[in-house]
Amino acid sequence: MEKRPLIGILVEKRSSRKRILEFYQRYHHLKLKLYAFTPEDIVWEEQQIIGFSFTKGKWKQNSFPFPHAVYNRCFNKDRLLTIQRLERTIGRNKCFNSINSFNKWDFYHLLKQSNINPYVPDSFLYHEVNISKLLEQYKLLYIKPLYGSKGESVYRLERMEYGDIHISMHSLAPRFICRKNEDIQDKLNELLSPGKYMVQQGIRTSRLGHQYFDIRVLVQKGILGEWTVSALTSRVAYDDYFNTSMCKSVCDAAEIFSKLFSTEKMDETLKTLSEVSVRAAKEAETITGSLGELSVDFVLDEQGKLWIIEMNGKPQKNIYHDLKRFKHKKLIYSRPIEYAYYLAQF
């Protein structure tokens, strides 16, 4: 191999090549050549890629040989065949995060059978259960599409004391009310768009006043190819909104915990978050193949217990940009390139 390995970042659109590449180019410190490309930029017949790179102080489009490793930033499960074809050329497991659009049911089933199952809320396939009976048991449920992000198309169902069922999206205020003499299943069939859904046990979470929050743990591999935690942050929702993807602010998780726990309990909780997230990442790779990063989202219930509510294969990094006094910006962009460099050595 040449002294400076070629590392490719696979992106969805040509128009986003420069924007995505800029951060990774700015924060990495290794002797390598980095370029961004789209699936359409691959010229298979000539074994060349039309890539975009920063060369001799300028952003340029050039023709490159196939890279030694590829970091996939396409959030599109339909691109898997392209990535598999690419791996047949550059080597097995040389493309990481090739599967980054996670099926929530597959991951629930995986984690529920692992040693971190105490942190996983009960979940069910929507078409296999009776929602009325589940509401009698749990009182609070969330219905989520199997593939989805940013809280889109997530419904919150709460059975009230007097028997009515409040159906909400994003905020606690009910968007629909199913009266106790109405059939909730019929109502949901009207609301849910075509597709497959899962039902998740609702967790009564801790709040800061009227604000819900979650804890996002960003787990990444670095230069040694080992999982490590890069950031623990909290997304704080707007007042009376349960969807933390529509957050009012982002802060360090320790800042939230310092308001809720003693120093000893806070340290213990942060340690648990890190350990469980790394274990979850290792479990995830058993069904996705090579991963270099993911995020694990937790909530804290009213008794102070942690629950995993979701895992994401393409963590949003823009949530860290406005975080005050965030010390790890370099880490979150340099580690995937370090891992690509690690893969390129074999």
In a domain, 53, yes or no: yes
In a domain, 344, yes or no: no
pLDDT digits (tens, 9 = 90+) for 11-25: 999 999 999 999 999
Q: What is the pLDDT of residues 285-324, one digit of tens each?
A: 999 999 999 999 999 999 999 999 999 998 988 888 878 7
25, 13 contact by CB (below 8 A) = no
- Report the SS3 class of residue 193: coil
Q: Are residues 114 and 229 in the same domain?
A: yes
Pull the structure tokens for residue 236: 């704080």
Based on the domain organization, do 171 and 282 belong to the same domain? Answer: no
| Contact residues for 207 (Cβ-Cβ < 8 A; gap 6+) | 213
Q: What is the pLDDT along the chain (346 residues), one digit of tens a residue?
A: 457 899 999 999 999 999 999 999 999 889 999 999 999 999 999 999 999 999 889 999 999 999 999 999 998 777 889 999 999 999 989 999 999 999 999 999 999 999 999 999 999 999 999 999 999 999 999 999 999 877 788 999 999 999 999 999 999 999 999 998 899 999 999 999 888 999 999 999 999 988 999 999 999 999 999 999 999 999 999 999 999 988 889 999 999 999 999 999 999 999 999 999 999 999 999 999 999 999 999 999 999 999 999 999 989 888 888 787 777 788 999 999 999 999 999 8
CB under 8 Å to 45, separation ≥6 — which residues? none
pTM of the shown model: 0.94
CATH number at 249 reads 3.30.470.20
Q: What is the DSSP string of 239-272?
A: TTB--TTSEEEEEEHHHHHHHHS-HHHHHHHHHH
Q: What tens digit of pLDDT does each residue of 136-180 get?
A: 999 999 999 999 877 788 999 999 999 999 999 999 999 999 998
Do 170 and 247 share a structural domain?
no
Domain total of the chain: 3
Residues 174, 264 share a domain: no
On whether both 245 and 296 belong to a single domain, the answer is: yes
Q: Is residue 56 part of a domain?
A: yes
CATH code for position 19: 3.40.50
Domain interval for residue 169: 123-201
Q: Which residues of 102-116 are buried (b: 16+ CB within 10 A; e: fewer)?
A: bbbbebbebbeeeeb
